[in-house]
Structure 1
Amino acid sequence: MKTELEEITHPSHRSIQLMVNPNLSDFFFWHFHPEYELVYIEGADGTRHVGRHISRFAGSDLVLIGSYIPHLNFDYGVKTAYQKMVVHLRPDFLRDTGSGTPELAPVRALLDLAAHGLAFGPETRAALGPRIQQLHTLPAFEQFLELLHILKALMDSPDKILLHPEPVKNAFTQKDQDRLRRVYAFIDTHYQRRMELRELAALTHLSEAAFCRYFKRMTRLTFTEFVNHYRIDKAKKLLLRGQNVTEASFACGFESLSYFSRTFK
């Protein structure tokens, strides 16, 4: 699947677009677009990869992403049943309201903060998740008003987290993003065995040293750190399905039970 600028088509009479349960779990979709994106996902454990930020979420996640910030689809690799709502806001959403509508200042401030990428804690997810899920059931005008209420509540949230200390500038070239897509696909296919650095270097047409620098620049993790995180996540799922520690560790590519135990902690 090609990594590209996603073009989101908005009806001329709408400033927002909703996507109800888009299922992309089998696809690595590393993409960006000019629209703001509000994502709520429930019933899944997955990877939150926004710009240079990579972390795990468990059970649910609620994230607001600013314009042109590259990000991975939040359901990538999820194998369980889940609910997902994606809200896209035009890049000029509220831009022309100006000083004549000071009541909207908190919402404009939230959209400014979205340039950092924002995640929200369990209190906010519990309060707003169900409301976000119901947006698609409302008529257009009521939907717009409810979204404003949700955005105001997000700005007032006590548990919002900046994913980057500075606003994110999309400095990833198309070549960088295509390389990362190939690396992720390789890891997903081969994580159960030893992966040699020379294989990744050949895959990305880089020297081994250049690949290490590239991967750290893109993810802020070494390749070994990233693979360990990935394998641990897979092992946790096997443990929850009833496999014992030894079976889970070797099934996910760990060659030593002691190393698995140290990494798992």
Structure 2
Amino acid sequence: MKIIKEEVAFNKNSSIKIFSPRLKHYFYWHYHPEIELVYVEAESGISHVGKNISTFEGSELILIGGNVPHLNFDYRMETTYHQVVVQFKNDFIPNTIAATPEFGSINHLMERAYMGLRFYGNTKTSVGKLLKDIKTENTYLSLIEIMNILQLLSVSSEVETLNTEDTRVKFYLNDKIRMGTIYNYIHEKYDKKPDVNELAERVHLSTPAFCRYFKKQTNLTFTAFVNQYRISQARTMLLHQHKISDTCFAVGFESLSYFNQVFKRITGESPSSFQKKHQKKY
């Protein structure tokens, strides 16, 4: 469960790799030198790229730079989902994109990818559809389609930078704590009472040292991270029309008013507004 270097294998006749991984039963905290574009459709999920941790609903579209650690986007998903991943050979960027003036905006996009880029709005909708419909049988046509997608992304203003600093793997290689231990503990305890002292003991740190470590790794306090996880689970329950009060207690909150407060802070809307907005979709 420690950070893993993924060895990406490409077809000898292709500069890109397009596939749909299914790893929901695995904690895959990993990195690779190749730049990666990920599109996932799901009722809700967790995104962890570099230090940025957030939840998403409906879909997520992210461009991840080389050697940026990230968690598989289908981790612990218990509902139906669809995922498309595109990876680019390392020499493709300098030899083809950077060397071609017409690809200037795409090259700039790739240079920014090390911070993690999330796309939203119409960009996410249109690119997601293109990625879902892409045909991989003809490598030439699929490459042309991917280049068109990159051009759309490169000129889009519907983009958010995920990290405020360089989070490439050099930041994590000397880390002796395994993030998998933390995620597994929270998944096991989120609906009960996760105890930071107990978790600190599991990873062989004092509580103050663990809290400093955790904040450095994620830019979140332990409590904030647990609440992110709980709200992700709550979203799924609310999408399936569970009562708000039942959902509140099922994901570990002891106060309905506090649940409403945390839900709105994380999602930007109240649980009732969220459920009403989605009640016709599911």
Conserved 8 A contact 1:16-1:88 = yes
Residue 193 of structure 1 aligns to a residue in which SS? coil
The answer on whether the counterparts of 2:69 and 2:168 sit within 8 Å (CA) in structure 1 is no
Q: In the superposition, relative to structure 1, how do residues 62 and 167 fare at CA in structure 2: closer, same or farther (>3 Å)?
A: same
**2:9 aligned partner, one-letter code:** T
Please tell me whether the aligned partners of residues 3 and 178 of structure 1 are also in contact (alpha carbons under 8 angstroms).
Answer: no
Residue in structure 2 matched with residue 232 of structure 1 by the alignment = 231
Deviation at 1:84, TM superposition (A): 0.8
**Residue 261 of structure 1: CA displacement?**
3.2
**Displacement, 1:57?**
1.5
Residue of structure 2 equivalent to 1:154: 153
1:93-136 Cα distance to aligned partner (Å, 9 max, x none): 13124776211222211110111111111210111112112223
User: Is the 1:44–1:78 contact (alpha carbons within 8 Å) kept by the matching residues of 2?
Assistant: no
What is the TM-score normalised by the length of structure 2?
0.86
Q: Secondary structure at the match of 2:91?
A: coil
State the partner residue of 1:103: 102
Pairs aligned (count): 264
Structure 2 CA distance for partners of 1:143 and 1:178, relative to 1, 3 Å: farther
How far apart are the structure 1 equivalents of 2:254 and 2:111? 46
Contact 1:26–1:76 at 8 Å: present in 2 too? yes
Retained in 2: the 8 A contact 1:30–1:177?
no
Residues 4, 174 of structure 1: 8 Å contact kept: no
Equivalences for residues 20-31 of structure 1 within 5 A: 20=20, 22-31=21-30
Q: What is the Cα deviation at residue 201 of structure 1?
A: 0.8
Deviation per residue, 1:49-104 (Å, 9 max, x gap): 11011122211111110100001111112222121100110122131247762112
Alpha-carbon distance in 1 for matches of 2:166, 2:2? 26
Q: Percent sequence identity over matched residues?
A: 41
- Report the residue type matching 2:143 in the other structure: F
Query: Alignment partner of 2:258: what SS?
Result: helix
How far, CA to CA, are the matches of 1:79 and 1:120 in structure 2? 24
Match of 1:140 in 2: 139
Q: Please say which of residues 244-253 and 68-77 is displaced more in the overlay.
A: 244-253
195-204 or 165-174: bigger deviation:
165-174
RMSD between aligned residues = 2.0
> Structure 2: 5+ residue runs without aligned partners?
265-282
Cα deviation for residue 13 of structure 1 reads 2.4
TM-score (norm 1): 0.92
Letter in 2 for 1:228: N
Alpha-carbon distance in structure 1 between the residues aligned to 2:61 and 2:97:
28
**1:253 matched to 2:232:** no
